[in-house]
Amino acid sequence: MVDSDSTETESRGTSISRRRMVKAIGATGAAGLAGCSGGGGGDGGDGGDGTATPMGTSGDDIGGTVTVFSGPQFVDAGFPEVLHEAGVPDSITIEMTRPPQDTGSKQQQLRTAINAEESDPDLVLTDNGWTIPFIVRGDLVNLEEEMDDEFISRVREEGVQSMINTGTHPETGDLYSVPVFPDFPTITYRKDLLREAGYGDSDFDTWRGDPPTWGTFSQIVSEAVDGADVDYGHLWQGNNYAGLACCTFNEFLTSMGGAFFGGRDNLFGPIGDRPVTLDSEKSIDGIEAAVDIIHGTGSAPMDIEGVSPVEVAGWSEPDTKSLFEDGSAVTQRNWTYSIGGAVTAFEGTDMELGVMPLPRGPNGSWHAQGGWIMSMNPYTDNMASAKEVIKAWWEDSVLKYQFDTANFMPPKPELYSYVEQSDTYGPYFEALQYSTENLIPRPTTSVWPNQRSIVAEEVNAALRQEQTPQEAATAMQEQIAAIEEQSG
């Protein structure tokens, strides 16, 4: 029912005084507050986030919870049970967490946690491409000092050497991280299309352990494209992103005999005290080879035909993987996981999968090294338990389980025979083994994040023919030398 008096009052323009209103609000507020004060049912009276806090342990006690900043493949996959079976005491609870999948985001999140001196995560899977800057800053635990000599010796003896290097202090040589799984690229190709072009099983068998040169490879792809109903020849990742600098360009560069800093010995430093050799003749050959496989300009010392579409200069791994799997291309350079993807995609089709190492240049066939290594948070409040987890993770049983469940390669060459027996990867074992024996790490130092963006920028511009290989090399040389000089 409408209150006529009040409407009449309003229409006359009379307003309630501000002070009366405040008084009324004050009274209501008091009542409201009184109502709140006894309230329950909130999300935790202690101001917590509702998560259970683990029983704390001192760093020297075995027990409590060890949090591992791992990845989605490790969550709910039975890893804690397998680690317990491999020797982790039952008093330790192992919690696998799901960090961001993007390596850059994961790096940033770890840096934030360490800067804030967070005790969790206790252990982190760090990308072999950005672990050394953390090591140099003292942001990871020196395992050489904290773990027994026998275990450290075992890791050094049994592990993939180039992976161990990515977790080693470049100056002291101390081990800070233990390899978890290596990753490396291969060439996946369509055997059915190559058969149509006149190649056969004997060729496929040969290429597994003796890859063709870039020139021969481009000719093979060109022949296959000519006689087949496919959109693309050879696919690889040439986009302006970290993967071009660390990996695809690094492969062209090394196979043609070039180097970032004069050779393998200087990859991890010393910054400012190593030669920058990106404008050397052989390094320019590396850029020319990458440009030629797209444009076929004939500038590289090998006769490389243009069999890659110009679009590769804008593509990264997911693009090429999906195109190869749907049958749009003859060959593809991609990481080991793409083999499993292609096996699944080709099932029940006429497409037949082949795998070979990357083509050879004058300096051989080289494969960029990817992969992840286990590191320890320096602010962990549960170091003794975390060490138990690291030790168990190095056991064969855990690494085999890791391969079975997540298709991650073991970081021990002695376990390659296990990979050989796998239904998915076994048929391609010889090519995989060749690749692991010819890995080239990226030059990971504290200034590599800056340098890699320059390399990616300049090489990508050359791939798009916005500048010549010589111009790209000169620009890289100038800028990277300036960084070395400033940071040395």
Q: Which positions touch another protein (CB under 8 A)?
A: 5-6, 8-9, 19, 22-27, 29-30, 33, 104, 108, 111, 114-115, 133, 136-139, 239-241, 309-311, 313-315, 319, 323, 446-447, 449-450, 453-454, 456-458, 460-461, 464, 466-467, 471, 475, 478-479, 482-483, 485-487
Find the distance separating the first CA and the last CA of the chain, reported in whole Å.
83
CB closer to another protein out of 123 and 136: 136
Distances (CA, A) of 351 to 72, 192, 200, 327: 31, 6, 15, 8
Residue with tokens 């870039």: 214
Phi, psi values for residue 10, rounded to 5°: -60, -40
Q: How far is the CB of 153 from another protein (least distance, A)?
A: 29
User: 64-69 and 123-127 as β-strands: parallel, antiparallel, unpaired?
Assistant: parallel
Q: Taking the complex as a whole, how short is the minimal distance between the CB of residue 178 and another protein, in angstroms?
A: 23
> Rounded distance, CA 204 to CA 178, Å?
35
Residue with smaller CB distance to another protein, 22 or 75: 22
- Range 78-81 contact pairs with CB under 8 angstroms and sequence separation of 24 or more: 78/401, 78/405, 79/398, 79/401, 79/402
CB distance 92 to 388 below 8 Å = yes
How many residues belong to the chain? Answer: 488
**Least Å distance between CB 464 and another protein?**
6
Cα–Cα separations (whole angstroms), residue 130 to 474, 481, 483, 487: 26, 21, 18, 17
Pairwise CA distance, residues 235 & 232, whole Å: 7
Decide: 288 and 249 in contact? Cβ < 8 Å: no
Q: Give least dist CB 449 to another protein, A.
A: 5
Q: Which residue has the tokens 């704390």?
A: 56
Smallest distance from another protein to CB 40, Å: 23
Token digits of residue 274: 């190593």
**Distance in Å, CB of 9 to another protein, minimum:** 6
Closest approach of another protein to the CB of residue 401, in Å? 35
Nearest CA to 286 out of 278, 297, 294 is that of 278
β 185-190/329-335 pair status: antiparallel
Q: Closest distance between another protein and the C-beta of residue 306, in Å?
A: 14
Rank residues 159 and 443 by Cβ distance to another protein and give the closer one: 443
In order of 7, 236, 334, 455, the CA distances from 459 in angstroms are 76, 14, 19, 6
Q: Which is nearer to another protein, 130 or 217 (CB)?
A: 130
Beta-bridge partners for 63: none
- Give Cα 224 to chain centroid, integer Å: 32
User: CB 455 → another protein: shortest distance, Å?
Assistant: 9
Rounded Cα gap, residues 285 and 303, in angstroms: 12
CA dihedral 370, 373, 379, 380 (to 10 degrees): 140
In the chain, DSSP finds a helix count (H) and a strand count (E) of 22, 11
- Distance of closest approach, residue 329 Cβ to another protein, in angstroms: 11
Query: How near is the Cβ of 98 to another protein at its closest, in Å?
Result: 20
State how far Cα 278 lies from the chain centre: 24
